[in-house]
Structure 1
Amino acid sequence: MSICVEVSLLSGRRHSESEKGSDSLTLQIRRVQLRRAAKAFAAILGDGSVATWGDTMRGGDCSAVLHRLQNVQQIHAADHSFAAILGDGSVVTWGLPEAGGDCSAVQDQLKNVQHIQANAAAFAAILGDGSVVTWGDAARGGDSSAVQHRLKNVQQIQASVSAFAAILGNGSVVTWGVASIGGDSTAVQDQLQNVQHIQACRYAFAATLADGSVLTWGDANQGGDSSAVQDKLKNVQQIQAAPSAFAAILGDGSVVTWGHQFLGGDSSAVQNELKNVRQIQATAGAFAAVLGDGSVVTWGLSSHGGDSSAVQAQLQNVQHVQACSSAAFAAIVGDGSVVTWGDSRYGGDSGAVQHRLKNVLHIQASATAFAAILGDGSVVTWGDARHGGDKTAVQARLRMVQHIAASDGAFAALLEDGSVVTWGNAVLAKVVIAGPSMTS
């Protein structure tokens, strides 16, 4: 079997990689599983092998382990590395070794793995017996030896940028990693009982208890201290995180926020409008809430989408809001059109393609650009051209698109025939096919 991969670079030039045999690459993606690191993608193929592409030093090249990547069930990504769970419960890793791409030190322990959680530079695997194995940057959670004796009957793990928090079967919590951003929960440890769920922002954690209250820890200025609103955090149904703030939806549809004052942690200016909230999305410094009547309320840094006043009249019958991770929002309204706001450089202004944004079914975002799938299976993009906002070079191939995944700087579209088209950052210049697919 041969492979021919064609990827468009920023210059508009097309780059090809070929192996002998057939003249096209068909990635039969199983369960539409595309995973991304900051600068790379990985996909599970129909035969259980893996395809990777992107920055070869940061997860885009799995050739060193390709002979082991067979019967892959799940793939998880840190910023610069990947970890794959195989059908027998073992794990294969690749990417930047010091950031989780090398699990050799714990390979013998990685058996019967059920789930993997990643932060920026480390991984934590839950085994079938409820114990945990960690690897990667030791200071950022890759070394859990100090709490290993407590990591028993683990049900769920969440991660901030450099720490982990595990919920045990009895509802208590164990934390490790960088202490100042969530790796140390001793200040609230006695209260962490009957924990139902943990949400993480970049620098802190928020735990929802069985009684609907919330406990927080981590960087006090960026979400780790909710004391100012503690009396309001009752009957919490859902928590949404920005990098430096949290927003909690209560049972009555109102919202409570905390964290960095200017990056979404202070919603006092719109508090009276936050009623019957059904969805919240966040950029790096702002939140957008969709209300039950289809209108939208925003707060936070204006330049990051916290001010939607310029398009407020258009924000009616909103079905869904998508945020790019930097500074803009895009809303699909009831007639299938799209309304955007925020930083115009990063997707906050879709004026150049507005006439084409009709019958939009889904929107995906990179850090600074958006891609919309239309009802006819075509794609419309806008925002930073360098990071996926310009798909001109692959336009003819974007037909019958079923799903789009995004990294920080690029997009990957899964087509109806199982093939994948990529565009964006120029590092997307090589695809590696692992496992049985390499066999002729």
Structure 2
Amino acid sequence: MNELIGASPVRVGRFRPAFEELPGLDFKTFDHAFDSFRAAREALAANAQKCESLHQTISRQLSDLQSARPNVDPHVFKVSFSSIQQKTIWFSKMLSVTLALPSGHAVSASVPQSSKVVDLKNLAQDAFNMPFLRLVTAEGRILADSMEQLQAAGLQDGDRVTVLGGQPKLAVTERAFALWTFGDRVVTWGSPDHGQSGPEYGEDSSAVQDQLRGVEQIQATATAFAAILEDGSVIAWGDESFGGDCSEVQAQLRNVKQIQATATAFAAILEDGSVISWGNVKQIQSTKYAFAAILEDGSVVTWGEPNYGGDSSAVYDQLRDVQQLQATEQAFAAILEDGSVVTWGDLADYINEFGDAETARELGYSCGVPEQLRNARQVQATKYAFAAILEDGSVVTWGGQDDGGDSSAVQDQLRCVQQVQATRHAFAAVLEDGSVVTWGSAHHGGNSSAVQNQLCNVQQIQANGYAFAAILKDGSVVTWGSEWGGDSSAVQDQLQNVKQIQATRHAFAAILEDGSVVTWGRDYGGDSSEVQAQLRKVQLIQATGYAFAAILEDGSLVTWGHVAWGGDSSAVQEQIASL
């Protein structure tokens, strides 16, 4: 009953079934009683003595009901009246606070002293029309637990509570999404095969849902999620073998500042700089089966499969003052403070493909650093090759020749390079003048000759596994590569005023200035026709391997793509709406 104070008609509606046990009750009259109760809300907030008048009104209406229904046991009305009378007296003890935005805009609010954080949050949401928010006390305490009593939280009459707004965030495994905002609740959905024909993907968080309070960050492996809570502890769920079970290291996961993930494991960096990892293999920055972590003193710790970079003992003495790490599927590259580069790893993948290391090396598959590599400021990687941008704007490449490791054909064009992006087997470099140079596998975007004359004034490049998409200065888009995103001819006339592009493995989704969305590429994610009417005022898009999720301005969510990869969120829409 206390939740009726300040409640909306929708919220009031959920209390009606509670009175269905009153035989012969005329709900029209009873609803009128509740309307009177709600109409007195403002008076109740301004002056607790108004409760007495409200009490008398409800008393009189319940008495009329009893007279109109003489066949109803009088004891029913006596019990109902007694309960309401007690609640009314209870409501007279109100807590008045000021809800204020950082801008200074503020409103006064009164709630029963017995109210919870969620009740005050509901008032703030209504007052400021903000679906996602966080409450902070004058002492700087974040009210993260929605079910905590306001008195237990230390709120007193006259306190000022700051209201902070924000957008929800998304994390993704291969086939599932996790949405959260300001830590109050996490909603997960995705693969419908959970517990049946396949592994978990983190779509079912029910086992840990009551622990997911005060969530600050969520990271994901291919099939599991890990959340850092406000107190620095960690909660994990999903496929146990891929990091969904952290019970063996739970006691060590304290004061966690950051979590990194590979496809199969997590690594947590603690406040003291130590690293705790769990899952099938161990890593921070990752190759396919290994981790590498830069420590506070600039040194590097590695672990996992030795053949995939997990063993850095051969270069241990060189790994000092490391500034940046990059990885292919089987090797790491570290940029040091002086701009030099150190690499390590093995030819494991190449040996599996070509039969022996010598054949692999003859084909150009090596993680050895070229002699001319000095003063590197950024390293990018395809599946089997590296590309480093040097301080002078030139580029040095090494690794698999057909995967972008051989840039000799375009080396004289690689001058004044600003950024490099990569598909699975090709690179694309944006130059200072806005032009683009590409190399590597043509099927993966390594040959841009068909659109070269259009690649002018390029501002940004996005890549999926097989194609590139460039946003030009005028907001138009140029694409190239395989048909899985490289051909945008069917939507080219719609690709105007583009401000952001996101990608699955085989498709792209572009957010336009007006908040609408245009998609293209392979079926799973490339076709958004079924939800196109809903894609309005889109603020953010995130992607799994074969599905997209878009957050709209009002905080609602629209998903599309492969159902088994999170493309259908219908089962959790009600939970998302209640965030």
Instruction: Output the TM-score relative to the length of structure 2.
Output: 0.65
Q: Are the equivalent residues in 2 in contact too, given 1:52–1:432 (CA < 8 A)?
A: no
SS at match of 2:492: helix
Question: Is residue 243 from structure 1 mapped to residue 383 from structure 2 by the alignment?
Answer: yes
Following TM superposition, by how much is the alpha carbon of 1:405 offset from its aligned partner in structure 2, in angstroms?
Answer: 0.5
Q: 1: distance between equivalents of 2:578 and 2:189?
A: 19
Aligned to 1:260: 400
Aligned to 1:420: 557
Larger Rg: 2
Q: 1: distance between equivalents of 2:297 and 2:189?
A: 41
Aligned to 2:178: 42
Write the mapping of 1:252-401 to structure 2, written as runs, cut at 5 A.
252-324=392-464, 326-344=465-483, 346-385=484-523, 387-401=524-538
Following TM superposition, by how much is the alpha carbon of 1:430 offset from its aligned partner in structure 2, in angstroms?
Answer: 4.4
Question: Is residue 199 from structure 1 mapped to residue 309 from structure 2 by the alignment?
Answer: no
- Give the number of the structure with larger relative contact order, counting CA–CA contacts within 8 Å between residues 6 or more apart: 1
SS at match of 2:430: strand
Q: Which moved more, 1:257-266 or 1:304-313?
A: 257-266
Q: 1:282 to 1:438 in 2, by over 3 A?
A: closer
Q: What is the Cα-based RMSD across aligned positions, in Å?
A: 2.3
Q: 1:227 to 1:161 in 2, by over 3 A?
A: closer
Q: Are the equivalent residues in 2 in contact too, given 1:72–1:85 (CA < 8 A)?
A: yes
SS at match of 1:262: helix
Following TM superposition, by how much is the alpha carbon of 1:363 offset from its aligned partner in structure 2, in angstroms?
Answer: 0.6
SS at match of 1:58: coil
Q: 2: distance between equivalents of 1:432 and 1:218?
A: 44
Question: Is residue 160 from structure 1 mapped to residue 160 from structure 2 by the alignment?
Answer: no
Q: Are the equivalent residues in 2 in contact too, given 1:216–1:225 (CA < 8 A)?
A: no
Q: 2: distance between equivalents of 1:228 and 1:418?
A: 48
Count of residues in Structure 1 that have an aligned counterpart in Structure 2: 396
Q: Are the equivalent residues in 2 in contact too, given 1:51–1:432 (CA < 8 A)?
A: no
Following TM superposition, by how much is the alpha carbon of 1:204 offset from its aligned partner in structure 2, in angstroms?
Answer: 1.1
Aligned to 1:227: 368
Q: Percent identity?
A: 57
Following TM superposition, by how much is the alpha carbon of 1:219 offset from its aligned partner in structure 2, in angstroms?
Answer: 2.6
Q: Flag the structure with higher strand content.
A: 1
Following TM superposition, by how much is the alpha carbon of 1:187 offset from its aligned partner in structure 2, in angstroms?
Answer: 1.6
Q: 2: distance between equivalents of 1:40 and 1:336?
A: 31
Q: Are the equivalent residues in 1 in contact too, given 2:167–2:555 (CA < 8 A)?
A: no
Q: 2: distance between equivalents of 1:437 and 1:316?
A: 42
Aligned to 1:215: 342
Following TM superposition, by how much is the alpha carbon of 1:172 offset from its aligned partner in structure 2, in angstroms?
Answer: 1.9
Aligned to 1:21: none
Q: Deviations over 1:83-102 (max 9, x none)?
A: 00011111111111111001
Q: 1: distance between equivalents of 2:301 and 2:272?
A: 17
SS at match of 1:380: strand
Query: Partner letter of residue 481 of structure 2?
Result: G
- Which of 176, 201, 214 is the aligned partner of 1:71? 214
Aligned to 2:251: 108
Following TM superposition, by how much is the alpha carbon of 1:296 offset from its aligned partner in structure 2, in angstroms?
Answer: 0.4
Q: Flag the structure with higher helix content.
A: 2
Q: 2: distance between equivalents of 1:371 and 1:88?
A: 36
Q: 2: distance between equivalents of 1:205 and 1:71?
A: 35
Q: 1:62 to 1:432 in 2, by over 3 A?
A: farther
Query: Partner letter of residue 405 of structure 2?
Result: G
Q: 1: distance between equivalents of 2:415 and 2:578?
A: 58
